[in-house]
Amino acid sequence: MNSKPIIVAPSVLACDFNYLGAECERMEKAGADWLHLDVMDGHFVDNISFGPPIVQSVAKVATVPLDTHLMVERPDHFFPRFIPYSSNITIHVEPDYDVGNTLKSIRAARATCGLAISPPTLFEKVEQFLDQIDLLLVMTVNPGFGGQEFIEETMFKVKRAAALRARLGLDFHIAVDGGIHADTAAIARASGANVLVAGTGLFRAADAVRAIKELRDL
Ligand code: DX5
Ligand code: ZN
């Protein structure tokens, strides 16, 4: 099912923020491919995480691409503030704004664009955008908090996306985010996901090198 290489993206939300730079370096040394940054505005989700200054701080130390996940009510308004630091910007399909136009604007600003879908949202909502994205982020928990349990029912979206990608000759990454550990990563990989975002499972692991290898099934 997997036509693309496995990419492991530690979610910085789960790091020890007293040591932000060192924590990011620790994940890079352990084998991370990207760093994932969860921006929450207290409106789209019931939590507030961090904004541009933290992403900028990570960008100063990072040598791997930064993958910014905007869980905000107005992605169209806020994405430009993250452009200077991000390789990829992922926006959610659920808020009320012009999704297609925002995806285009992200690419025009020389970043790749991702589209995220929350567990309760119908897959049909993202279907029309599949030929305009570089990454589809299938949320495997309800967005807002780290440390939640993987919702296996979301795997039909991963499978559907992989099938449509093959049928339409498209090339986007399929990412999963939330509750990813060795066992759930295996389920996600078997379903067709190639980008594995993990917070708790990596930052809180006793052995990060091993935890990253396990996500890749090495
Ligand atoms: C959830 C965030 C995730 C979160 C994952 O809203 O988008 O990236 O940090 O955390 P874990 O891996 O702990 O479920
Ligand atoms: Zn995320």
pLDDT tens sequence across 76-89: 999 999 999 999 99
Instruction: Say if residue 1's pLDDT is above 60.
Output: no
What pLDDT, on the 0 to 100 scale, is given for residue 120? 98
- Number of residues that make up the chain: 218
Catalytic-residue membership of 38: yes
Report which DSSP code applies to 13. G
Q: Report the pocket of ligand 1 as residue ranges, CB < 6 Å.
A: 11, 13-14, 36, 38, 69, 141, 143-144, 146-148, 177-180, 197-201
Average pLDDT over residues 107-132: 98
Q: Tell me the percentage of the chain whose pLDDT exceeds 90.
A: 98
Alpha helices in 92-196 (DSSP H): 99-108, 124-127, 155-168, 182-191
**What is the rounded end-to-end Cα distance, in angstroms, of the chain?**
17
Mutation pick for ligand 1 pocket among 145, 149, 154 (CB with most ligand atoms within 8 Å): 145
Query: Where do we find the tokens 């994205």?
Result: 133
Selecting among 76, 98, 177, 217, the annotated active-site residue is 177
Q: In the prediction, which pLDDT does 81 show? A: 98
Q: Mean pLDDT across the stretch 162-180?
A: 98
